[in-house]
Amino acid sequence: MTDDRPVLTTRQGHPVYDNQNQRTVGARGPATLENYHFIEKLSHFDRERIPERVVHARGATAFGYFEAHGTVGDRPVAELTRAKLFQEKGKRTELAIRFSTVAGGRDSSEVARDPRGFAVKFYTEDGNWDLVGNNLAVFFIRDAIKFPDFIHSQKPDPKTFERQVANRVFDFISQTPEALHMISIVFSPRGIPASYRHQQGFGVNTYKWVNAAGETTLVKYHWIPKQGVKSLTAEDAAKIQATELGSHTKDLYESIEAGDFPEWELNVQLMDDHDHSELDFDPLDDTKVWPEEVFPLHPVGRMVLDRTPENFFLENEQIAFGTGVLVDGLDFSDDKMLVGRTFSYSDTQRYRVGPNYLQLPVNQPKGTTVATNQRDGQMSYAVDGGQNPHINYEPSLLGGAVEGPKPDHDELGPEIRGRLTRKRIDRTNDYQQAGEHYLLIEQWERDDMVANFIDALGQCDRMIQERMVWHLLMCEDELGLRVGEGIGLSPDDVRHLEPLPTQTLTDDEKARLSNLGKNGPRDVTGKVMTHCVPNERVTA
């Protein structure tokens, strides 16, 4: 015991002189109801959990900074975006990052086969910018309306709560051919990163940059780790999770505390802002990468993580990211996933954390003064820095906040016309990039992917297996043949299957289908592995 330790108090500041015994009538009870200390202690405990995130429940936060290069290739960045954080070489912006797994609950294994969330909050002088991405370059679906179904397929059976993961996941995937590209990455070793420090990050969706003249450019974001990319096989992951479920959080925390600060280079790919009818994919389709040999990566700055949270709950459970959180010079594209995401994040956070979640220190903008006319609501805490104590409306002659300067002109992006409709995009091209991915990765990654598919599909119903082998053959003969062989299915066993009712095959795809299993390898001459820097196997 030392004299400098604080005296235990209640939340009201009353000193507590007995924290071992509740107040009772006589030593054996009964208890009394006016026992403020006891009731406050238990009732606070009863409320110590908030709902876990519906996805990405398990995660780890760290803090650091972004340092801009001021250029994009050999051009000043200002030619493409007026976003202030990118402008000057050496300019630093504070940031928070939360890495996560997607499907499991708050205490689930961090070496599960799953994408990893890669969400960065930049506290810029123009307010916050959230870049909410993943460690894999593409996504499973391209229309936000499918997200709840997709996630339900990844979660336990709602009656038995059994996690028959494979059968549920592949039931959905087998009916969702756009997922084949993402599935081919998740079932490669990149589906189990060795740690949060050894993985790439991607914005995944297409965004826009806007310059001072209002001109717009399509942009995709890539984070490349200076530590390199390292992954685990399922076997090695099993050894790790046998003794430690939180290996990634532990690794991140310990390396930063030891002064080994992880670092990533932020790169962008750029495209003129139109629909690019010359491409065999749609630039707004998040199931596709933009080929790097055509759209090269340009470094724009680096991120260094040099601080761990003071408190896990305050800074990891209550941090809230959203794709709608953009600053001047950065904008949305018309990507149909992005609009759904933008609604969903702040909607869930008002429920999960509370309507005043943006007043919490980890979510508050830091480089700017907040002056809204929003007041009150549950757990309202902060008085906005620029707030007039009396005038909480606008316009007003009496005082209060006024509108900022208007931009001189509208954005000069393309004009959009069309009828209201419900339609899939043209240029779905669901198999090509998945097949190319299989051919471009290293042999050990191909072998691992095949083994992982055999293992997972081996647990599925026959009709799901048949459709999945059909899809894999449509991606790449060798992949479909090897996986098929592993679960006892040949091309002849699946040839009878018609395309799905939701599919419209292109002429190329029809030709592949008529020759299923005998098409020979796709031509990948001159292609580079756009979204994947080399991957090193780590053994446990």
Shortest distance (Å) from residue 147 CB to ligand HEM: 4
Among candidate residues 151, 157, 141, 179, the one with its CA nearest the CA of residue 468? 179
Range 114-143, binding ligand HEM (CB under 6 A): 117, 119, 132-134, 139
Active site residue 152: no
Catalytic option among 56, 198, 222, 531: 56
Pick 159 or 422: Cβ nearer ligand HEM: 422
Pick 354 or 517: Cβ nearer ligand HEM: 354
> DSSP labels for 24-78?
BSSTT--B-TT-HHHHHHHHHHHT---PPPSSS-SEEEEEEEEEE-SEETTEEGG
Question: Does 290 contact ligand HEM by CB under 6 A?
Answer: no
CA angle (9, 319, 400) in 5-degree steps:
90
Range 34-73, binding ligand HEM (CB under 6 A): 53-56, 59
Range 259-288, binding ligand HEM (CB under 6 A): 286
Range 417-476, binding ligand HEM (CB under 6 A): none
Strand, helix or coil for residue 101: strand
Range 192-231, binding ligand HEM (CB under 6 A): 204
The pair of structure tokens assigned to 98 is 């939360």
Helix 462-475 to helix 477-487 angle, to the nearest 10 degrees? 160
Shortest distance (Å) from residue 344 CB to ligand HEM: 4
Q: Which of 37, 82, 91, 98 binds ligand HEM (CB under 6 A)?
A: 98
DSSP at 23: -
Binding mask 322-361 for ligand HEM (x = CB under 6 A): ---------------x--xx--xx--xx--x---------
Pick 120 or 450: Cβ nearer ligand HEM: 120
> DSSP labels for 492-505?
HHHTTPPPPTT---
Pick 321 or 470: Cβ nearer ligand HEM: 321
Pick 340 or 491: Cβ nearer ligand HEM: 340
DSSP at 475: H
Burial 232-268 (b: 16+ CB within 10 A, else e): bbbebbeebbeeebbbbbebbbebbeeeeebbbbbbb
Pick 219 or 483: Cβ nearer ligand HEM: 219
Shortest distance (Å) from residue 352 CB to ligand HEM: 5
Binding mask 291-320 for ligand HEM (x = CB under 6 A): ----------------------------xx
CB 460 within 8 A of CB 483: no
CB 187 within 8 A of CB 452: yes
Pick 61 or 188: Cβ nearer ligand HEM: 61
128 sits in which H/E element:
strand 127-134
Q: Which of 71, 81, 100, 267 binds ligand HEM (CB under 6 A)?
A: 100
Catalytic option among 37, 69, 128, 134: 134
Q: CA 223, CA 202: separation in Å to the nearest integer?
A: 6
Q: CA 181, CA 502: separation in Å to the nearest integer?
A: 17
State which amino acid sits at residue 7.
Answer: V
Size of the site for ligand HEM (CB under 6 A): 28
> Strand 298-307 vs strand 92-101: parallel, antiparallel, or unpaired?
unpaired
Strand, helix or coil for residue 442: coil
Ranked by CB distance to ligand HEM, the top (closest) residue is: 117
Active site residue 205: no
Which positions are annotated as active-site residues? Answer: 56, 134
Q: Footprint of ligand HEM on this chain (CB under 6 A)?
A: 53-56, 59, 98, 100, 117, 119, 132-134, 139, 144, 147, 204, 286, 319-321, 337, 340-341, 344-345, 348-349, 352
